[in-house]
Protein backbone atom coordinates (compact mmCIF):
# COMPACT_ATOMS: atom_id res chain seq x y z
CA UNK A 1 0.00 0.00 0.00
CA UNK A 2 1.29 3.45 -0.93
CA UNK A 3 0.24 6.68 0.76
CA UNK A 4 -0.64 9.30 -1.85
CA UNK A 5 -1.64 12.02 0.61
CA UNK A 6 -2.68 12.61 4.22
CA UNK A 7 -4.31 15.83 5.40
CA UNK A 8 -5.42 16.93 8.83
CA UNK A 9 -9.20 17.35 8.92
CA UNK A 10 -11.40 18.12 11.96
CA UNK A 11 -8.79 16.62 14.27
CA UNK A 12 -8.50 13.45 12.23
CA UNK A 13 -6.72 12.47 9.03
CA UNK A 14 -8.07 12.29 5.49
CA UNK A 15 -5.83 9.94 3.57
CA UNK A 16 -5.64 8.69 0.00
CA UNK A 17 -3.96 5.34 -0.64
CA UNK A 18 -3.14 3.10 -3.60
CA UNK A 19 -2.72 -0.67 -3.48
CA UNK A 20 -2.62 -3.68 -5.76
CA UNK A 21 -6.02 -5.35 -5.86
CA UNK A 22 -6.12 -9.10 -6.29
CA UNK A 23 -9.81 -8.96 -7.17
CA UNK A 24 -9.48 -6.33 -9.89
CA UNK A 25 -5.98 -7.34 -11.02
CA UNK A 26 -4.81 -3.72 -11.11
CA UNK A 27 -3.87 -0.86 -8.82
CA UNK A 28 -6.82 0.68 -6.96
CA UNK A 29 -7.10 3.95 -5.06
CA UNK A 30 -9.30 4.72 -2.05
CA UNK A 31 -9.81 7.52 0.44
CA UNK A 32 -10.09 6.88 4.17
CA UNK A 33 -11.04 9.38 6.84
CA UNK A 34 -9.87 8.44 10.34
CA UNK A 35 -11.51 10.54 13.07
CA UNK A 36 -9.48 11.82 16.03
CA UNK A 37 -10.72 8.92 18.17
CA UNK A 38 -8.61 6.55 16.02
CA UNK A 39 -5.51 7.96 17.72
CA UNK A 40 -6.38 6.07 20.90
CA UNK A 41 -8.19 2.94 19.69
CA UNK A 42 -10.12 1.18 16.97
CA UNK A 43 -13.13 2.96 15.49
CA UNK A 44 -16.17 1.70 13.55
CA UNK A 45 -16.23 1.97 9.76
CA UNK A 46 -18.77 3.49 7.39
CA UNK A 47 -18.49 2.63 3.68
CA UNK A 48 -19.45 5.29 1.13
CA UNK A 49 -19.96 3.97 -2.41
CA UNK A 50 -20.01 6.58 -5.17
CA UNK A 51 -22.00 6.81 -8.39
CA UNK A 52 -21.44 6.80 -12.14
CA UNK A 53 -18.36 8.71 -13.39
CA UNK A 54 -17.04 9.21 -9.84
CA UNK A 55 -13.69 8.25 -8.37
CA UNK A 56 -12.72 7.99 -4.69
CA UNK A 57 -12.37 11.78 -4.72
CA UNK A 58 -15.91 13.02 -5.39
CA UNK A 59 -17.60 12.26 -2.10
CA UNK A 60 -14.36 12.71 -0.18
CA UNK A 61 -14.20 16.38 -1.23
CA UNK A 62 -17.88 17.26 -1.86
CA UNK A 63 -20.05 15.43 0.67
CA UNK A 64 -18.84 17.16 3.85
CA UNK A 65 -18.59 13.86 5.70
CA UNK A 66 -15.45 14.54 7.73
CA UNK A 67 -16.91 17.01 10.23
CA UNK A 68 -19.80 14.74 11.15
CA UNK A 69 -17.63 11.61 11.15
CA UNK A 70 -15.19 13.29 13.54
CA UNK A 71 -18.02 14.23 15.89
CA UNK A 72 -19.40 10.69 15.79
CA UNK A 73 -16.04 8.93 16.04
CA UNK A 74 -16.62 6.97 12.82
CA UNK A 75 -14.14 6.27 10.03
CA UNK A 76 -15.35 6.64 6.43
CA UNK A 77 -13.87 4.80 3.46
CA UNK A 78 -14.35 6.13 -0.09
CA UNK A 79 -13.49 3.39 -2.63
CA UNK A 80 -13.17 4.00 -6.35
CA UNK A 81 -16.09 2.97 -8.56
CA UNK A 82 -14.22 0.69 -10.95
CA UNK A 83 -10.82 -0.70 -11.92
CA UNK A 84 -8.70 1.71 -13.94
CA UNK A 85 -5.58 1.79 -16.05
CA UNK A 86 -4.35 1.39 -19.63
CA UNK A 87 -4.89 -2.37 -19.58
CA UNK A 88 -8.45 -2.15 -18.24
CA UNK A 89 -11.39 -2.34 -20.65
CA UNK A 90 -13.41 0.84 -21.14
CA UNK A 91 -16.27 2.24 -23.19
CA UNK A 92 -16.91 5.63 -24.77
CA UNK A 93 -20.20 5.97 -22.87
CA UNK A 94 -20.07 7.48 -19.39
CA UNK A 95 -22.29 4.73 -17.94
CA UNK A 96 -20.20 1.68 -18.83
CA UNK A 97 -16.60 0.72 -18.21
CA UNK A 98 -14.16 2.77 -16.13
CA UNK A 99 -16.11 4.83 -13.60
CA UNK A 100 -19.13 2.54 -13.92
CA UNK A 101 -18.28 -0.77 -12.26
CA UNK A 102 -21.84 -1.18 -10.90
CA UNK A 103 -20.54 -3.22 -7.93
CA UNK A 104 -20.80 -6.61 -9.65
CA UNK A 105 -18.35 -9.34 -10.66
CA UNK A 106 -18.32 -9.29 -14.46
CA UNK A 107 -18.48 -12.63 -16.23
CA UNK A 108 -18.43 -11.34 -19.83
CA UNK A 109 -15.60 -10.19 -22.08
CA UNK A 110 -13.94 -7.73 -22.19
CA UNK A 111 -14.93 -6.89 -18.60
CA UNK A 112 -14.32 -10.15 -16.73
CA UNK A 113 -10.53 -9.86 -16.18
CA UNK A 114 -10.79 -6.68 -14.07
CA UNK A 115 -14.38 -5.70 -13.29
CA UNK A 116 -14.87 -7.58 -10.03
CA UNK A 117 -16.08 -4.73 -7.86
CA UNK A 118 -18.31 -6.93 -5.71
CA UNK A 119 -15.31 -8.95 -4.54
CA UNK A 120 -13.25 -5.78 -4.18
CA UNK A 121 -15.75 -4.19 -1.79
CA UNK A 122 -16.81 -7.40 -0.03
CA UNK A 123 -13.42 -9.10 0.38
CA UNK A 124 -10.32 -7.40 -1.01
CA UNK A 125 -10.48 -3.89 0.43
CA UNK A 126 -11.87 -4.95 3.86
CA UNK A 127 -8.89 -7.26 4.36
CA UNK A 128 -6.46 -4.45 3.59
CA UNK A 129 -8.28 -1.98 5.86
CA UNK A 130 -8.30 -4.46 8.74
CA UNK A 131 -4.58 -5.08 8.37
CA UNK A 132 -3.40 -1.48 7.96
CA UNK A 133 -5.66 0.80 10.03
CA UNK A 134 -7.14 1.01 13.57
CA UNK A 135 -10.63 -0.07 12.53
CA UNK A 136 -13.16 -2.21 14.39
CA UNK A 137 -14.29 -4.43 11.51
CA UNK A 138 -16.99 -5.97 13.71
CA UNK A 139 -18.77 -2.61 13.49
CA UNK A 140 -19.43 -1.69 9.86
CA UNK A 141 -22.24 0.15 8.08
CA UNK A 142 -22.68 1.19 4.45
CA UNK A 143 -24.14 4.02 2.38
CA UNK A 144 -23.84 5.33 -1.16
CA UNK A 145 -25.20 7.63 -3.86
CA UNK A 146 -26.95 6.66 -7.12
CA UNK A 147 -25.01 3.67 -8.53
CA UNK A 148 -23.31 3.59 -5.13
CA UNK A 149 -26.68 3.54 -3.39
CA UNK A 150 -27.51 0.51 -5.50
CA UNK A 151 -24.24 -1.08 -4.41
CA UNK A 152 -24.76 -0.24 -0.74
CA UNK A 153 -28.26 -1.72 -0.68
CA UNK A 154 -27.37 -4.90 -2.56
CA UNK A 155 -24.28 -5.55 -0.47
CA UNK A 156 -26.15 -4.98 2.79
CA UNK A 157 -29.10 -7.12 1.74
CA UNK A 158 -26.77 -9.92 0.61
CA UNK A 159 -24.30 -9.70 3.52
CA UNK A 160 -26.60 -8.93 6.48
CA UNK A 161 -24.09 -10.11 9.08
CA UNK A 162 -21.49 -7.64 7.76
CA UNK A 163 -23.36 -4.36 8.09
CA UNK A 164 -25.28 -3.06 11.08
CA UNK A 165 -27.16 -0.43 9.07
CA UNK A 166 -27.60 0.69 5.48
CA UNK A 167 -28.60 3.96 3.84
CA UNK A 168 -28.69 5.38 0.34
CA UNK A 169 -28.92 8.72 -1.44
CA UNK A 170 -31.03 8.48 -4.62
CA UNK A 171 -30.16 4.82 -5.29
CA UNK A 172 -30.68 3.02 -8.60
CA UNK A 173 -33.40 1.03 -6.89
CA UNK A 174 -34.74 -1.35 -9.55
CA UNK A 175 -31.95 -1.79 -12.13
CA UNK A 176 -33.40 -4.89 -13.79
CA UNK A 177 -36.25 -2.64 -14.96
CA UNK A 178 -34.23 0.49 -15.79
CA UNK A 179 -31.90 1.65 -18.56
CA UNK A 180 -29.51 2.37 -15.69
CA UNK A 181 -29.09 -1.30 -14.94
CA UNK A 182 -30.22 -3.36 -17.89
CA UNK A 183 -27.38 -1.95 -20.00
CA UNK A 184 -24.69 -2.52 -17.39
CA UNK A 185 -25.97 -5.83 -16.03
CA UNK A 186 -26.34 -7.16 -19.57
CA UNK A 187 -22.81 -6.07 -20.50
CA UNK A 188 -21.15 -7.36 -17.34
CA UNK A 189 -23.23 -10.45 -16.55
CA UNK A 190 -24.68 -11.53 -19.90
CA UNK A 191 -28.13 -11.54 -21.43
CA UNK A 192 -29.72 -14.04 -19.02
CA UNK A 193 -31.68 -11.66 -16.79
CA UNK A 194 -31.88 -14.27 -14.03
CA UNK A 195 -28.24 -13.47 -13.27
CA UNK A 196 -29.15 -9.83 -12.73
CA UNK A 197 -31.64 -10.41 -9.92
CA UNK A 198 -28.98 -10.72 -7.21
CA UNK A 199 -28.08 -7.08 -7.93
CA UNK A 200 -31.52 -5.49 -7.69
CA UNK A 201 -32.33 -4.04 -4.27
CA UNK A 202 -36.08 -4.02 -4.92
CA UNK A 203 -36.04 -7.75 -5.66
CA UNK A 204 -33.74 -8.45 -2.72
CA UNK A 205 -35.98 -6.45 -0.42
CA UNK A 206 -38.98 -8.45 -1.60
CA UNK A 207 -37.12 -11.72 -1.09
CA UNK A 208 -35.28 -11.23 2.19
CA UNK A 209 -35.38 -7.71 3.70
CA UNK A 210 -32.76 -6.37 6.09
CA UNK A 211 -32.50 -7.01 9.82
CA UNK A 212 -31.01 -3.62 10.74
CA UNK A 213 -32.11 -0.01 10.31
CA UNK A 214 -32.48 1.37 6.77
CA UNK A 215 -32.63 4.99 5.53
CA UNK A 216 -33.22 6.24 1.98
CA UNK A 217 -33.23 9.89 0.89
CA UNK A 218 -34.46 10.77 -2.59
CA UNK A 219 -34.66 14.22 -4.12
CA UNK A 220 -38.18 14.92 -5.39
CA UNK A 221 -36.77 17.05 -8.23
CA UNK A 222 -34.12 14.51 -9.19
CA UNK A 223 -33.64 14.72 -12.94
CA UNK A 224 -33.11 10.93 -13.11
CA UNK A 225 -36.21 9.75 -11.24
CA UNK A 226 -37.43 7.63 -14.17
CA UNK A 227 -34.11 5.77 -14.18
CA UNK A 228 -33.80 5.41 -10.41
CA UNK A 229 -37.32 4.01 -9.83
CA UNK A 230 -37.54 4.82 -6.11
CA UNK A 231 -41.24 3.94 -6.05
CA UNK A 232 -40.41 0.27 -6.74
CA UNK A 233 -38.18 0.06 -3.67
CA UNK A 234 -40.68 1.99 -1.55
CA UNK A 235 -43.43 -0.45 -2.52
CA UNK A 236 -41.20 -3.43 -1.71
CA UNK A 237 -40.36 -1.93 1.70
CA UNK A 238 -44.05 -1.39 2.44
CA UNK A 239 -45.12 -4.82 1.18
CA UNK A 240 -42.53 -6.54 3.36
CA UNK A 241 -43.30 -4.26 6.33
CA UNK A 242 -39.57 -3.58 6.48
CA UNK A 243 -38.60 -1.14 9.26
CA UNK A 244 -37.21 1.77 7.26
CA UNK A 245 -37.24 5.52 6.74
CA UNK A 246 -37.84 6.57 3.12
CA UNK A 247 -37.82 10.34 2.59
CA UNK A 248 -38.73 12.27 -0.55
CA UNK A 249 -36.90 15.58 -0.15
CA UNK A 250 -38.77 18.45 -1.80
CA UNK A 251 -36.77 20.62 -4.19
CA UNK A 252 -33.59 18.49 -4.23
CA UNK A 253 -31.96 17.08 -7.37
CA UNK A 254 -29.34 14.36 -7.94
CA UNK A 255 -26.23 16.43 -7.24
CA UNK A 256 -23.73 16.49 -4.39
CA UNK A 257 -25.53 19.56 -3.08
CA UNK A 258 -28.31 17.10 -2.23
CA UNK A 259 -25.91 14.56 -0.72
CA UNK A 260 -24.11 17.17 1.40
CA UNK A 261 -27.43 18.53 2.68
CA UNK A 262 -28.30 15.23 4.34
CA UNK A 263 -24.88 13.74 5.05
CA UNK A 264 -25.06 14.60 8.74
CA UNK A 265 -28.37 12.76 9.03
CA UNK A 266 -26.87 9.65 7.46
CA UNK A 267 -23.71 9.65 9.56
CA UNK A 268 -25.69 10.17 12.76
CA UNK A 269 -28.06 7.38 11.66
CA UNK A 270 -25.17 4.96 11.19
CA UNK A 271 -23.31 6.13 14.31
CA UNK A 272 -26.28 5.16 16.44
CA UNK A 273 -26.33 1.66 14.95
CA UNK A 274 -22.55 1.32 15.28
CA UNK A 275 -22.67 2.21 18.98
CA UNK A 276 -25.07 -0.63 19.74
Active-site positions read: 146, 222, 254
Cis-peptide, bond into residue 110, ω within 30° of zero = yes
- Asked if 2 and 17 touch (Cβ cutoff 8 Å), the reply is yes
8 Å CB contact between 63 and 263:
yes
Cβ density class 130-158: b for 16+ within 10 Å, e for less = eeebebeeebbbbbbbbbbbbbbbbbbbb
Strand 75-79 to strand 26-34: parallel, antiparallel, or no bridges (unpaired)?
A: antiparallel
C-alpha 154/C-alpha 147 separation (Å) is 11
**Contact partners, residue 90, CB within 8 Å, separation at least 6:** 97, 98
What spatial distance separates the first Cα and last Cα of the chain, rounded to whole Å? Answer: 32
Burial degree of 254 (CB within 10 A; 0-12, 13-18, 19+): buried
CA distance linking residue 104 with residue 21, whole number of Å: 15
E-strand ranges in 177-267 read 214-219, 245-249
Amino acid sequence: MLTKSENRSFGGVQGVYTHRSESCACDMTFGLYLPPQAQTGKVPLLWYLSGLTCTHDNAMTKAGAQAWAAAAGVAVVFPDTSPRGPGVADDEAYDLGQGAGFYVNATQDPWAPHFRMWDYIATDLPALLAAEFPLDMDRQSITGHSMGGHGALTLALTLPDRFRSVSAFAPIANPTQSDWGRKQLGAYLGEDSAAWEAHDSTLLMTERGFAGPLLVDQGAQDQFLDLLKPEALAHAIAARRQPATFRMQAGYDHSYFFVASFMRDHIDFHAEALRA
